[in-house]
Structure 1
Amino acid sequence: MDLNQIIERLELRTTRLTNFLPERKRLFFKQLEAKFQNRAILLHGPRGVGKTTFLLLMAKRHNLLYISGDDPLLLTVPLQDLLETILINYPGVIIDEIHFMPNWSAMLKFLYDSFPNKTIWISDSSSVLLRKSVDDLSRRFVLLKLPLMSLREYIHFEAGIDLEVLDSPFENLAEYTSEILRQVDILNFFKDYREKGTRPFYIEGNFKEKLLNTLEKTIYYDITHLLNVVHENHFGVMKAIISHLAYSKIQTFNVESMCRQWAIGKPKLYELLHAMEESGVINIAYKDKIEKPYSKGAKIFFADPALYYALEGEIGNFREAFTIFALKERGKILASKNEEEADFIFEGAKVVKLEIWGKNKRSKSSDFVVRDDIDLPIRNTIPLWTLGMLW
């Protein structure tokens, strides 16, 4: 099969895929599309958040050829020859899940330099691959992120309503929440969303099974591309970390004990934790702005709060996990050094001390208290659901 035949097949696949795009799309796509101005862009984000759907929309809108990095067709011809031919005949190319392609970093640098008037948009589940590649490449590609679905987007999918984005949960909240409550039964939507609404594939049903399958693929396929060396027991370590996060009330663990149990050194354990964070499995709230190689006392949560429900784990950890998940898109969130004062420190437009309210917790001296059992703000108390309206 020659290059033209391969390209013809790729064109047919792109057309077929764009013809079956879902009617209702994520609200975040509008915000993301406005940022797609550079000719070299890496779109990153966890599996299952809609990267492929968005890229197919962009391929259709800009007459670009879409390619999936794991397409077996790509193995039948010299890859560089194929991409050169595509860029000669198309305004540009979109390569989804770039890490599946061999020698992708050097190839992209060559194409970027050889076709200065062409568009090259790529995607991956993590941005770290590009940052680890040659400096010239990481400087030339703009990094953009597609996060998990917000509560606001879930309501749009379910009810077709485009609610206003919340600028900040720390200012003028009373008027915003009152207006939202006039339009929807927010706590009922939030109850469903927290169990099944963080990724658009929930529409297809079997959300729990699909989410756990996504977690499995991330560990066994995506994370391996972030590690220099990976052995079978490293997968066991990651599974142990997931199990601990799911079923323990305390979201830290004994590093020394885990190293002894799995016969690995501290550097490798922290490398695994970093890879799990970069690939969207966990969020780590450090106690210092500067992340040290070995950060003691850091709090670790699932990056997708719905995993606590999917794994039938410690549901009480959802509150803190959801707070980190939402606020990290707007600023930096740290674990408080003084837990008598606050649970977290959020550094956004301003620095605020946050307490996450749960049963049997005594009040701290924080600036704001986040609670999941109220629908309206009271004094300095913020309803948890409002953090789901930030995008």
Structure 2
Amino acid sequence: MEPLLAFQDVLLGSVENRFSRESVAKIRWNDKMIGIRGPRGAGKTTLILQRLKFGLGDQREKGLYVTADHTWFYTHSLLDTAMDWWKQGGRVLFIDEVHKYPHWSRELKNIYDGLPGMKVIFSASSALDIYRGEADLSRRVVSYSLPGLSFREYLQFTERGTFPAMSLDDIRAHHREVSRSVLEKVQPLPDFRHYLRQGYLPIFTEGEESYLPRLEQVINTTLEADLATLASYNAGTAARVKKLLGVIAESAPFKPNISALADKMGLHRDKIYEFIYQLEDARLLNLLSAEGKGVSRLQKPEKIYLENTNLAYAMQASPDMGNLRETFLMGQLVNAGLSVTAPTQGDFKVGDLFIEVGGKSKNAGQVKGEASYLVAADDIEMGVGSKVPLWMFGFLY
């Protein structure tokens, strides 16, 4: 196992604990098998390496990190690797990008059942359905999702300021007090503009000028590798899905005309639905359903959004600011675990709360007849009454 340990040592040498995602606090690390899913570049590898280096305490020497596409697995199985590590005194196995390993679910089940004292923490693509592999893992795996950075996390990551996460109720009741506390440390609007363009994924630390090209690579790898593997795409199918994403990006957010998309793509309507929902699974799209309608993979979403605003900049020369505002708010609400629907009045509805999005002059004309509403207004540092700064919704997680 020397090649794996040597590879691990090299990786751990560059891992710091200066910033860690608060999602870590929600993970029950004592569970026997943990799955962490998220979009490429969100920081899954860093998260599990931080856990290995800083979180195991005196058990660190009993932890082993492997990545499922390592050349080691050309001649060794995942199960045999776990067995060998167990015999050497290992008790924790970290597996990165498990979806790249054939028969991953079967061997994870074998490890779980055959090595009762071994803990397994694995990362996977967002598109991976952990509970629908070859083997039943539903009773074995506790799954967590790691989204991209919130605007609040971005401010902390860039050392602009550290602020607590807020609930939607907190924003409604205390947004003026929160604005004051933020303004004591930073003027949020310039940072917010930067975040919308290139602050969603932590890979921006590798160079701002290379961020959007790297994001294009993330998109291509997600489509050509992750989805191609998980949805059994061939090269032609991956190219069609990529074209569909490009068509959507041209006007997202928009109300989809599935028949028109099918005609433009030369595909059956059912294939369009299938690809759209797979792109949602891969965290490249967010889909908004109409209020009162169930969720079905053969049901037309009310609106289609790119998953985050950075994607718009990677795929378009000059994204529309109105679209970016909606895309940002939709993404932050979804990533905060809130159930969002498309209401008859306003842009979004969460529970009994209606939310209208716009610029600094936006008023409550479309939602003022509702008992509970907010106006998420861009280009303001501080709101008043039911008018809240748009950037503050980036403090939801």
Relative distance call for 1:79 and 1:145 in structure 2 (3 A) is: closer
**Matching residue's letter, 1:48:** G
- Three-state SS of the structure 2 residue aligned to 1:183 is coil
Question: In structure 2, how many angstroms separate the alpha carbons of the residues matched to 1:93 and 1:121?
Answer: 6
1:176 maps to 2:178: yes
1:95-153: CA deviations, max 9, x gaps?
A: 11101111111111111011112101111012642121257312210011111011112
The match for 1:323 is 329
Contact 1:343-1:354 within 8 A present in 2 as well: yes
Question: In structure 1, how many angstroms separate the alpha carbons of the residues matched to 2:228 and 2:73?
Answer: 21
The match for 1:335 is 342
1:271 maps to 2:274: yes
The match for 1:3 is none
Q: CA deviation at 1:57?
A: 1.3
The match for 2:199 is 197
Higher mean alpha-carbon deviation, 70-79 vs 277-286, is at: 70-79
The match for 2:357 is 356
The match for 2:217 is 213
Q: CA deviation at 1:359?
A: 8.7
**Matching residue's letter, 2:20:** R
**Matching residue's letter, 2:331:** F
The match for 1:44 is 37
Relative distance call for 1:250 and 1:159 in structure 2 (3 A) is: closer
Tell me how many residue pairs correspond in the alignment: 377
User: What TM-score does the superposition give when structure 2 sets the normalisation length?
Assistant: 0.89
Contact 2:79-2:108 within 8 A present in 1 as well: no
1:254 maps to 2:278: no
Superposition map of 1:1-391 within 5 A: 7-22=1-16, 24-28=18-22, 30-32=24-26, 34-60=27-53, 61-62=55-56, 63=60, 64-89=63-88, 90-126=90-126, 128-133=128-133, 136-159=136-159, 161-168=161-168, 169-205=171-207, 206-227=210-231, 229-248=232-251, 251-287=254-290, 288-311=292-315, 312=317, 313-328=319-334, 329-336=336-343, 338=344, 341-347=345-351, 351-358=352-359, 363-365=365-367, 367-391=373-397
Q: CA deviation at 1:361?
A: 7.1
- Three-state SS of the structure 2 residue aligned to 1:274 is helix
1:16-54: CA deviations, max 9, x gaps?
A: 10111145323425524x532312100011000110011
Q: CA deviation at 1:249?
A: 6.1
- Three-state SS of the structure 2 residue aligned to 1:382 is strand
Higher mean alpha-carbon deviation, 176-185 vs 163-172, is at: 163-172
Equivalent pairs: percent with the same residue? 27
Contact 2:253-2:304 within 8 A present in 1 as well: no
**Matching residue's letter, 1:58:** R
Relative distance call for 1:71 and 1:29 in structure 2 (3 A) is: same
**Matching residue's letter, 1:263:** G
Relative distance call for 1:20 and 1:297 in structure 2 (3 A) is: closer
1:272-324: CA deviations, max 9, x gaps?
A: 11111111111001114521233235211111211122222334211111111
Relative distance call for 1:298 and 1:236 in structure 2 (3 A) is: farther
Contact 1:42-1:127 within 8 A present in 2 as well: no
